[in-house]
Amino acid sequence: MSDPDLVLGIESSCDEMAAAVVRRGREIVASVVHGQAEVHRPYGGVVPELASRDHVRAVSRVVGAALERAGLESEALDAVAVTAGPGLVGSLLVGLSFGKALAYRLGIPVVGVHHVAGHLASAELADDALRAPYVGLVVSGAHTALYRVREAAPPLLLGETRDDAVGEAFDKVARLLRLPYPGGPSVSAAALRGDPRAVAFPRPLAGEPGLEFSFSGLKTAVAIEVERRAGGRPLPAAAVADLAASFEAAAVDVLVARARRALAGARPARLAVVGGVAANRRLRERMQAAAREDAFEVVFPPPDLCTDNAAMIAAAGFALLVRGERHGMSLNSFSRIPIGATLGASPALE
Ligand code: KG4
Ligand code: ZN
């Protein structure tokens, strides 16, 4: 088969059901994201069983909406790319099963995409001129890691978090400060009104060798400070703003310091920052300032490509299809899976 033109992407690894049509891996024809914030808000976090049930209700409508916005019938599609992992298995299975069934009905190939490879591809969707090799910093609710993004080979892990992901730390700090779900955006909104120097929170590993991260100590430091100040009662708004700003400043400092370290000596000196936390304003500003100082290039996708979406899955899937990968009906979903892992059987075994 020649390279596919129109790829349908489907993403359902956590609490977003998303579908998108992308042309030749670069041009977003249509992208639809159905979030579930209202489903999980009463619980202050994602409830896996509720997430997968909502996906079952949404999947057909979301894929239909993406095709309608693209002005296409499903018969116009050349391939389906669907997130196969990592993520919540119940959630993943909904998008995966739908994607496989659609590909089977249309007689077109299906490929499984690693969710983090999808996030990395979002940078190339955002910047048409961006080409591997470059350094990718993935900052999301489940991942915090640096990769060397290579041409025609899976991304190479340079270092990742030893404990919590940075987005998870944002979400936990939101709960400690009694800020509304989802946590990341509400912490950064509160931080705008606060003093980032109010509390000198730790910057874990920032100056140390290696390219790993750690956020659990920072989260605990915030918990101790909240307890010390509030003693179980709600904090005044000014204190919430100061703690949010001080936490955000510490988390951002760590991300910038580790990225600078990864960029030192990298040729070409080029960085893409992707994942939900890449929508954070302070991170964008601080990283751009570091890029000017250290003379590296930095790409941030627009906020709607930072958080989970299916355009990035279609783009990453396109790259796999061009390399000849096809996964077929034996493709499964995986709660944990390394980024370069082979997914599904080769077509010869189908
Ligand atoms: O990439 P994503 O949508 O899902 C995962 O793959 O995890 O990332 C979601 C994470 C959440 O932890 C959310 O709180 C965080 O991204 N996030 C933010 C912002 N917007 C989303 N964190 C900090 N500042 C933001 N503006
Ligand atoms: Zn994600």
Distance in angstroms between the alpha carbons of the first and the last residue of the chain: 17
Kindly state the DSSP code that residue 3 receives in the 8-state scheme. P
| Position 79 in a domain | yes
Testing ligand 1's pocket by substitution, the residue of 277, 287, 305, 308 carrying the most ligand atoms inside 8 A of its CB is 277
Residues 187 and 213 both lie in one domain? yes
Q: Ligand 1 atom 3: the closest Cα is on which residue? A: 307
Which residue type does 293 have?
A: E
Residues 290 and 193 both lie in one domain? yes
Q: Ligand 1 atom 10: the closest Cα is on which residue? A: 141
Q: Can you give the residue range of the structural domain that contains 50?
A: 6-120+306-322
Q: What is the pLDDT of residue 149?
A: 97
Q: Which residues of the chain have pLDDT under 50?
A: 346-350
> Do residues 110 and 326 make contact, with C-beta atoms less than 8 angstroms apart?
yes
Which residue type does 294 have?
A: D
How far, in Å, from the CA of 348 to the mean position of ligand 1?
A: 39
Residues 157 and 89 both lie in one domain? no
Q: What is the pLDDT of residue 170?
A: 98
Q: What is the pLDDT of residue 202?
A: 97
Q: Quick check: CB of 280 below 6 Å from ligand 1?
A: yes
Smallest-distance ligand from the CA of 247: 1
For the entire predicted model, the pTM comes to 0.95
Residues 94 and 191 both lie in one domain? no
Which residue type does 275 have?
A: G
CA distance 214 to 204: 6
Q: What angle do CA 118, 123, 126 make, to 5 degrees?
A: 120
Residues 14 and 152 both lie in one domain? no
Q: Would you state the structure tokens that stand for residue 252, as one six-digit string?
A: 């951002």
Q: Ligand 1 atom 8: the closest Cα is on which residue? A: 276
Maximal CA-CA distance, the chain: 65
CA distance 30 to 282: 29
Q: What is the pLDDT of residue 348?
A: 38
Q: What is the pLDDT of residue 340?
A: 86
In ligand 1, the atom with minimum distance to the C-alpha of 171 is: 14
| Position 343 in a domain | no
Kindly state the DSSP code that residue 244 receives in the 8-state scheme. H
Which residue type does 301 have?
A: P
Residues 67 and 151 both lie in one domain? no
Q: Quick check: CB of 99 below 6 Å from ligand 1?
A: no
Q: What are phi and psi of 59, to 5 degrees?
A: -55, -50
| Position 220 in a domain | yes
Could you tell me the CATH number of the domain that includes residue 181? 3.30.420.40
Q: What is the pLDDT of residue 44?
A: 86
Q: Would you state the structure tokens that stand for residue 61, as one six-digit string?
A: 């409508």
| Position 329 in a domain | no
| Position 136 in a domain | yes
Which tens digits make up the pLDDT trace of 121-147?
999 999 999 999 999 999 999 999 999
| Position 347 in a domain | no
Kindly state the DSSP code that residue 86 receives in the 8-state scheme. S
> Do residues 283 and 253 make contact, with C-beta atoms less than 8 angstroms apart?
no
CA distance 148 to 134: 6
| Position 174 in a domain | yes
Which residue type does 215 have?
A: F
Which residue type does 203 have?
A: R
Q: What is the pLDDT of residue 343?
A: 79
Q: Are strands 6-11 and 79-85 parallel, antiparallel or unpaired?
A: parallel
Q: What are phi and psi of 340, to 5 degrees?
A: -95, 5
Q: How many domains does the chain have?
A: 2
Any bridge partners for residue 1, and if so which?
none
CA distance 284 to 282: 5
Q: Quick check: CB of 122 below 6 Å from ligand 1?
A: no
Q: What is the pLDDT of residue 289?
A: 98
Which residue type does 152 have?
A: A
| Position 200 in a domain | yes
